[in-house]
């Protein structure tokens, strides 16, 4: 049950199908698929922190955007190659999480939500104000897509396959992470921290590592996002982004790792469909949040599954 | 080397002395019951020994080591395990997951994040074996919050045994159990390996008298009597405990 | 010297606006454990409605009153209809208020547009006066005075009235207070409405200074959150001290390090939390 075999096979099927059709569909749709992969990684990273460890974060965009900015600055202003810039970005996010959580884990649970929000807003405001380094509101355009040796991933299709490869590697690593003994411990911590301590677990160390891993993968997603758009701006650090990724794990099923990937897919489609018909995207997110909060705070998938089970029981009994 | 030694332990909450000047020593393999009315300080005593709250004064020694300032989670590595009066399991996880988490806690695998748990056959095997030994295998895939109260209490004890403890603190293990369930639980505790020292808090005086080698009686934070079950039974000053707090008599 | 006086007064006027928000926020959390992500929305709507109401009636006082009443009623509705159903569930409550934040932000944008609007200063309070050796806007002095008065009245309410005692007791041990037969749901609604009203007053009074624009809710709410975190959840005294700290740091920070923006507030927040994880006067 904890292994979530169902989710794993769905994810594998999704990857195989995506790999097969990625080159054959219209370029715009390939772009959407790429977005799904990128947000999928982002959602999985938050799931590790929120769904598995039980640390609700409203500031995950901080790690998403920070890595993008650092990678962009390293390649545009320092002339670093893709490998170095990319690594620097991920390292920056991981380091930021490591420093931030030295403080964040000392405070009471109720504060965590607010200080994660504060942290991401501080980074956002830095991005807007520190114009010399970050380009301010205009951001940093002109970032070229990855070039590894003689392989260029500049075209839409090539970049799609690049993102797919990164997704597969990330998903595999995170899958091992959450099904490892460490991952089981995270689940215990989310459920009953005091019991974990009584059993002998050094809870702080688990939360600390989980936050760093979560931030690192959020950074991976952020960089992929930047390379997709060839550009990074303060919006990558905004509350909206944090709220959107939170919505992805809630629409999916928090704590299942692959449910949030589904949530990411749903989100991309929803955003695409709605932006065609209306400008009121923010309003729609708000309503979805209210509905989720009232009816399915554990996740829409879980809500649906429970309703299905209830109906089965009624018809069987 | 005594499994547990407490010297002049006190704990205050504001102006209230929850436990005052408590001294206690257990012999290896002993079964000791702590009895007393509500508010006598029994659970506070457990919380201090366990490490959940620090003492205001006094010292605690586990297997000869001074653990007074030792963090909660490190005491478990010395062989201390505990159950809670209000069932404290992982309610949203399955029974088998609960056992796995309990079993792996003190093994070298507990911090491994680069390998799937499935790889650690010893952990899985021991978890399954424990469930089998205590006849909980049929529940292995049940979510804990869906279990009956009695089964949960049983799991609570089994989880505490998962780490091969040498000192077991049982906080009112019979709380809320039916007469039949109490019999079962009493048998479980009686049949525990004598390599494990047991300290239990119990309101059910019949069970306490049946299990314990020695009994310590507390009232208003202090120890008021200590002795064999026979001696305690005769002790007149404890009649108020029997009248006020005692529950079932045979 | 003038530099110090003027900027300290500027910092204080900002601090008072923040206090109006932080006080409500901390009361709501202290009593009901609700992290009201939509607190900035009350501020925003209060300001926008005041702008429209003042335009309509031509009078600042009437318009302001209407706005505050409207928001108080909104607060009652939100609490009764939505939040009460999620009693004691912290995360869903935070999610719900987050949803409301987005809904209100979009509705406000749709209704009042994207350009910054100013709440007009009341005629009586326009102009400058001599104060401590400088010429200083009368309105800002009024704002500082209002903030101090509010702090005093909140203190008096909590410490000297029966209802205040109930609120304080409720923050400590709600079960007990219910057990005494007191209608806690009513107290909850009242305090939530009070918090919303205070935020609306913040919007109305702060409007002439800060302006109303899309994103003002986020900006001011974040500062209020920082204040409440620094001051300690559930403490009015903490909210007051926190407001002073954040208001002054933000102001001087913007004067000396405009490039660093919010970072200047983050630093003292980190320091305070590192030394006192529950905030200056936290009770959590």
ipTM: 0.90
Structural domains in chain C (count): 1
- Angstrom distance (rounded) from CA C105 to CA C97: 12
Residue with tokens 């939509």: C38
The residue that leads in pLDDT, B60 or B248, is B60
Task: For C230-269, give one letter per residue: b (16+ CB within 10 A) or e.
Answer: bbbbbbbbbbbbbbbbbbbbbbbbbeeeeebbbbbbbebb
Residue C157 lies in a domain: yes
In this predicted model, what pLDDT tens digit does every residue of B128-158 receive, in sequence order?
A: 999 998 889 999 999 999 999 989 999 999 9
CB-nearest to C90 from A110, A125, A285 is A110
d(CA C118, CA C52): 11
Domain holding C189, by residue range, is 2-275
**Which is it for the CA torsion B132, B136, B138, B140, positive or negative?**
negative
Residue showing tokens 């026979």: B230
Please state the pTM of the whole predicted model: 0.90
- Range among A225-234, B175-184, C82-91 rated most confident: A225-234
pLDDT, residue A168, reads 95
Check whether B247 has a pLDDT greater than 50: no
Instruction: Please tell me what DSSP assigns to residue C161.
Output: S
* Residue from the list C85, C109, C274 with its beta carbon closest to the beta carbon of A103: C274
- Across the range C276-280, mean pLDDT stands at 83
Is pLDDT above 50 for B246?
no
Residue B249 confidence (pLDDT): 39
CB A167 within 8 A of CB A25: no
Each residue's pLDDT tens digit, A129-186:
888 888 888 889 888 888 887 788 888 889 999 999 999 999 999 999 999 999 999 9
Across residues B220-231, what is the average pLDDT?
87
> How far apart are alpha carbons B26 and B9 in whole angstroms?
15
Q: Chain A residues with CB inside 8 Å of B52's CB?
A: 194, 198
For A195, the closest chain B residue by CA position comes to: B88
> Model confidence over B99-132: pLDDT tens digits?
999 999 999 999 999 999 999 999 999 999 999 9
The dihedral region occupied by A261, where left means phi > 0, alpha psi between -120 and 50, and beta the remainder, is: alpha
Q: Which residues of B164-181 are buried (b: 16+ CB within 10 A; e: fewer)?
A: ebbbbbbbbbbbebeeeb
**Rounded distance between C-alpha atoms, residue A226 and residue A82, angstroms:** 12
Query: Is position C282 within any domain?
Result: no
Residues on chain C touching A251 (C-beta within 8 angstroms):
none
Most distant CA pair in chain A, distance: 69
**Token pair recorded at residue A215:** 């931030």
Ramachandran category for residue A277: left, alpha or beta (phi over 0 → left; psi -120 to 50 → alpha) = alpha
Interface of chain A toward chain B, CB-CB under 8 angstroms: 1-3, 176-177, 179-185, 187-188, 191-192, 194-203, 205-206, 209, 213
Interface with chain A: mutation pick from C93, C262, C272, C283, highest number of A CBs within 10 Å: C262
φ/ψ of residue A171, rounded to 5? -60, -40
pLDDT band at A237 (very low <50, low <70, confident <90, very high): very high
pLDDT of B250 > 70? The answer is: no
Tens of pLDDT, residues C148-157: 999 999 999 9
CATH number at residue C232: 1.10.3470
Indicate the average pLDDT of chain C: 89
Q: Output the six-digit token pair for A84.
A: 């170095």
Q: Looking at residue C65, what is its pLDDT?
A: 93
Joined together, the tokens standing for residue C184 give: 């806690």
Two tokens at C62?
Answer: 């009437």
More confident residue, A181 or C118: A181
How confident is the model at residue A316, as a pLDDT? 66
Residue partners of A58: CB distance under 8 A and separation at least 6: A113, A114, A116, A117, A120, A239, A242, A243, A246, C37, C94, C98
Check B113 against A180: CB less than 8 A apart: yes
Per-domain residue ranges of chain A: 5-316
User: In the CATH hierarchy, which fold is given to the domain comprising A5-316?
Assistant: ABC transporter involved in vitamin B12 uptake, BtuC (1.10.3470)
Report yes or no on C59 lying in a domain: yes
Percent of chain B with pLDDT strictly greater than 90: 59
pLDDT band at C196, cuts 50/70/90?
very high
Share of chain A above pLDDT 70, in %: 97
CA distance, residue C56 to nearest chain A CA (Å): 27
Task: For residue A243, list chain C residues with Cβ-Cβ distance below 8 A.
Answer: 98, 102
pLDDT, position B236: 63
Nearest CB neighbour to C229, from listed A115, A121, A282: A115
Highest mean pLDDT among A253-257, B135-139, C168-172: B135-139
The per-residue b/e assignment along A45-67, b for 16 or more CB within 10 angstroms, e otherwise, is bbbbbbbbbbbbbbbbbbbbbbb
Looking at residue A136, what is its pLDDT? 86
When pLDDT is averaged across residues B192-201 and rounded to a whole number, the result is 91
């Amino acid at each position: 049950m904890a292994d979530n075999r169902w989710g794993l096979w769905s994810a594998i099927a999704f990857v195989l199908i995506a790999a097969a059709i990625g080159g054959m569909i219209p370029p715009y749709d390939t772009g959407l698929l790429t977005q799904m992969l990128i947000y999928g990684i982002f959602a999985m990273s938050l799931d590790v922190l929120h769904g598995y460890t039980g640390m609700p974060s409203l500031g995950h965009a901080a790690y998403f955007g920070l890595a993008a900015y650092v990678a962009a600055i390293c390649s545009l202003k320092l002339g670093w190659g893709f490998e170095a810039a990319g690594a620097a970005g991920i390292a920056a996010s991981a380091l930021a999480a490591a420093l931030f959580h030295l403080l964040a884990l000392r405070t009471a649970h109720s504060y965590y939500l607010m200080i994660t929000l504060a942290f991401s807003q501080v980074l956002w405001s830095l991005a807007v104000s520190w114009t010399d380094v970050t380009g301010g509101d205009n951001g940093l355009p002109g970032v070229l897509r990855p070039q590894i040796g003689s392989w260029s991933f500049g075209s839409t299709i090539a970049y799609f396959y690049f993102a797919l490869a990164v997704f597969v590697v990330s998903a595999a690593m995170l899958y091992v992470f959450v099904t490892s003994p460490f991952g089981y411990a995270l689940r215990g911590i989310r459920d009953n921290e005091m019991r974990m301590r009584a059993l002998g677990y050094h809870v702080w160390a688990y939360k600390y590592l989980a936050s760093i891993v979560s931030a690192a993968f959020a950074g991976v997603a952020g960089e992929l996002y930047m390379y997709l758009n060839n550009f990074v701006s303060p919006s990558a650090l905004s509350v909206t982004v944090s709220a959107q990724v939170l919505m992805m794990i809630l629409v999916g099923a928090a704590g299942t790792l692959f449910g949030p990937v589904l949530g990411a897919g749903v989100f991309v489609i929803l955003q695409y469909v709605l932006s065609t018909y209306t400008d009121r995207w923010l309003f729609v997110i708000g309503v979805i949040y209210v509905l989720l909060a009232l009816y399915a705070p554990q996740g829409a998938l879980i809500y649906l599954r429970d309703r299905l089970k209830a109906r089965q029981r009624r018809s069987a009994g | 080397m005594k499994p547990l030694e407490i010297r002049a332990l006190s704990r205050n909450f504001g102006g209230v002395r929850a436990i005052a000047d408590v001294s206690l020593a257990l012999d290896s393999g002993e079964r000791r019951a702590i009895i007393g009315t509500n508010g006598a300080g029994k659970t506070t005593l457990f919380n201090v020994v366990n490490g959940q709250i620090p003492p205001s004064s006094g010292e605690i020694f586990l297997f000869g080591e001074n653990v007074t300032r030792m963090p909660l989670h490190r005491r478990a590595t010395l062989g201390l395990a505990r159950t809670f009066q209000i069932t404290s399991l992982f309610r949203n996880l399955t029974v088998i997951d609960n056992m796995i988490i309990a079993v792996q806690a003190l093994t070298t695998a507990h911090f491994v994040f680069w390998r799937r748990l499935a790889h650690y056959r010893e952990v899985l095997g021991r978890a399954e074996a424990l469930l089998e030994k205590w006849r909980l295998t049929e529940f292995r895939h049940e979510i804990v919050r869906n279990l009956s109260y009695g089964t949960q209490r049983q799991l609570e004890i089994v989880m505490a045994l998962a780490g091969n403890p040498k000192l077991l603190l049982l906080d009112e293990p019979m709380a809320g159990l039916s007469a039949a369930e109490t019999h079962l639980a009493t048998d479980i505790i009686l049949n525990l390996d004598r390599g494990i020292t047991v300290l239990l808090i119990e309101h059910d005086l019949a069970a306490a008298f049946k299990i314990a080698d020695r009994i310590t009686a507390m009232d208003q934070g202090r120890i008021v009597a200590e002795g064999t079950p026979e001696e305690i039974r005769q002790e007149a000053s404890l009649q108020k405990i029997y009248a006020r707090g005692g529950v079932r008599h045979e | 010297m003038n530099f110090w006086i003027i900027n300290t007064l500027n910092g204080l006027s900002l601090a008072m606006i923040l206090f109006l928000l932080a006080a409500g926020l901390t009361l709501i959390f202290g009593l009901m454990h609700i992290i009201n992500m939509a607190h900035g929305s009350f501020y925003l709507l209060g300001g926008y409605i005041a702008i429209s109401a003042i335009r309509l009636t031509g009078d600042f006082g009437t318009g302001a009153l209407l706005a505050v009443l409207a928001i108080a009623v909104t607060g009652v509705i939100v609490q009764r209809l939505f939040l009460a159903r999620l009693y004691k569930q912290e995360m869903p409550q935070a999610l719900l208020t987050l949803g409301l934040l987005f809904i209100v932000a979009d509705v406000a944008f749709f209704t009042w547009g994207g350009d910054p609007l100013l709440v007009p200063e009341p005629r009586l309070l326009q102009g400058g006066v001599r104060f401590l050796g400088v010429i200083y806007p009368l309105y800002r002095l009024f704002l500082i005075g209002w903030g101090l008065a509010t702090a005093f009245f909140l203190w008096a309410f909590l410490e000297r009235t029966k209802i205040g005692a109930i609120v304080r007791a409720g923050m400590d041990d709600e079960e007990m207070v219910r057990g005494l037969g007191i209608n806690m749901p009513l107290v909850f609604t009242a305090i939530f409405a009070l918090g919303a009203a205070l935020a609306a007053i913040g919007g109305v009074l702060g409007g002439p200074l800060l302006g109303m624009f899309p994103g003002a809710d986020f900006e001011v709410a974040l500062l209020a959150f920082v204040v409440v975190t620094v001051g300690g959840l559930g403490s009015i005294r903490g909210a007051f001290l926190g407001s002073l700290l954040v208001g002054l740091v933000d102001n001087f920070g913007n004067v000396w390090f405009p490039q660093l923006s919010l970072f200047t507030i983050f630093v003292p927040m980190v320091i305070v939390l590192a030394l006192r994880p529950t905030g200056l006067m936290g009770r959590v």
